A = this chain, B = another copy of it.
Amino acid sequence: MPRELPSTYPHIPKVGPPARSRLDALLVKQATPLRRRSGDVLFRAGQVPKYLYFLECGEVRLQRITRTGQEVFFQRSAGGFIAEASLRSAAYHCDAVCRAPCELLALPCTALREAIDTDAAIRWSWIDLLSAQSRGQRLRIERLALKTISQRLLHLIYTEGEHGSYTLQGSRKDLAADLGVTPEALYRALTALESAGTLSVRGRQLVWHA
């Protein structure tokens, strides 16, 4: 049982995804639709970014290869822009691989760069997007710094869930990778929390009994 509950600021409103109507319009006008199968590679580390990808449905994983050749899970995307930080980079910093059949939009980097310079709404959409991503990453860092799986789980439900309820996006194995633990440990932590009455698992819903 965690002795220290996840950190929280109840008085801070949750930040939703930034409005992006103009950005959406740009996507419709300038981007080309793509379909990719599971296993296809969107881009590899080291390549020069030519397109920004927007994931409409499916799943894409950002990953890197360790020195010993092992794939290391990096981040999972189930929708939205991928590798936003690469708009002006000289090279991608990770591989992007589809893990499910995907529908994507490929927007030329040049198109977005121009739009950012000429369209104030798109400009601020982009800045808000980057800011939101940064805040999300910070929460993830905070979560990974917690010592026990239980703490990380409750932190996840509290920061990413709605009304104390978090809906799993992928498999539990994926969740384990997200939390930086092994699947076995996660399963055990879930049953332990459930039998302690702290949590209940209903299909893909994790509900926290505060």
Which residues of A does B touch, CB under 8 Å? 4-9, 11-13, 15, 45-46, 64-68, 70, 72-75, 84-91, 93, 116-117, 120, 123-124, 126-128, 130-135, 137-138, 140-142, 144-145, 180
B46 touches A9 (CB 8 A): yes
Residue pair B72, A142 in contact (C-beta under 8 Å): yes
Specify which chain B residues have a CB less than 8 angstroms from the CB of A138 in the assembled complex: 74-75, 85, 93, 137
Q: A12-B93, A93-B12 are in contact. Are A120 and B120 (CB under 8 A)?
A: no
Closest B residue by C-beta to A117: B120
Q: How many copies does the complex hold?
A: 2
Tell me the complex Cα distance, A133–B84, Å.
12
A66 and B8 contact, CB distance less than 8 A: yes
Contacts of A70 in B (CB 8 A): 4
